[in-house]
Amino acid sequence: MRPGPTARAALVLASFLVLFVLVDRLSSPGRADRGTAGATGPRATTTTRAQTSTAETTAPSTTAPSTTAAPTTATTTAPTGSTLRPARGVKVQVLNGAYVAGVATRVAGRVRRAGYDVVAANTALVTPVSRVYYTPGHRADAEAFRRRFPGFREVDPAPPSLSREVDLHAVIGRDYPGI
């Protein structure tokens, strides 16, 4: 007896899921990079300098207190592209954990247009909550991503099963708006 189209589709989907998990686990580098020392490294310093220089260039040159006022306004108003950490150079994998056809591709397009380097749009295990997982040294990138895309409600460190060669793993859950 031959399986019907639904059974064949389920078998193909299960095969791809197993393949994805195996490739992800095999492509992960050693686990020695789990530490959080990179979170306070040069990237954090660069962000601070970029925010300070932005505040200085937008404020009149005759007022010295403008650099003190800039962080206060940035925390009380909605974030803009100039107050967030830059998207350029941040590698993102978009994962569809909502099991809604095409949602990973649509979201990946939005993420790419925001300036991120989208390296993949794949399927993940079903998850109720949309979240961004970050690899060591990329927490600030994850927070900026979440502010740009508020549908991702949580930010967490990446579990060991996710590749360390990708900076952020954006997992679309069933709660993602508009799906």
Q: Of the residues 47, 76, 105, which one is the last residue of a structural domain?
A: 76
Q: Which pLDDT value is given to residue 56?
A: 36
Assess if residue 2 is contained within a domain. no
Q: Which pLDDT value is given to residue 85?
A: 87
Q: Which pLDDT value is given to residue 140?
A: 96
Ramachandran assignment for 14, one of left (phi > 0), alpha (psi -120 to 50 degrees), beta (any other):
alpha
Assess if residue 121 is contained within a domain. yes
Q: 50-84 burial string, b = 16+ CB within 10 Å, else e?
A: ebeeebeeeeeeeeeeeeeebeeebeeeeeeeebb
Assess if residue 4 is contained within a domain. no
Which whole number is the average pLDDT over 111-128? 96
For residues 42 and 103, the model is more confident at 103
Q: Is pLDDT above 50 for 136?
A: yes
Question: Same structural domain for residues 50 and 117?
Answer: no
Specify the number of domains making up the chain: 2
For residues 29 and 90, the model is more confident at 90
Q: Which pLDDT value is given to residue 104?
A: 96
Q: Is pLDDT above 50 for 121?
A: yes
Assess if residue 16 is contained within a domain. yes
Question: Same structural domain for residues 101 and 163?
Answer: yes
Assess if residue 127 is contained within a domain. yes
pLDDT tier for residue 62 given thresholds of 50, 70 and 90: very low
Q: Of the residues 25, 50, 76, which one is the last residue of a structural domain?
A: 76
Q: Is pLDDT above 50 for 51?
A: no
Q: Which pLDDT value is given to residue 41?
A: 33
Range of the domain at 71: 38-76
Question: Same structural domain for residues 111 and 156?
Answer: yes
For residues 123 and 14, the model is more confident at 123
pTM of the model: 0.56
Assess if residue 6 is contained within a domain. no
Question: Same structural domain for residues 93 and 164?
Answer: yes
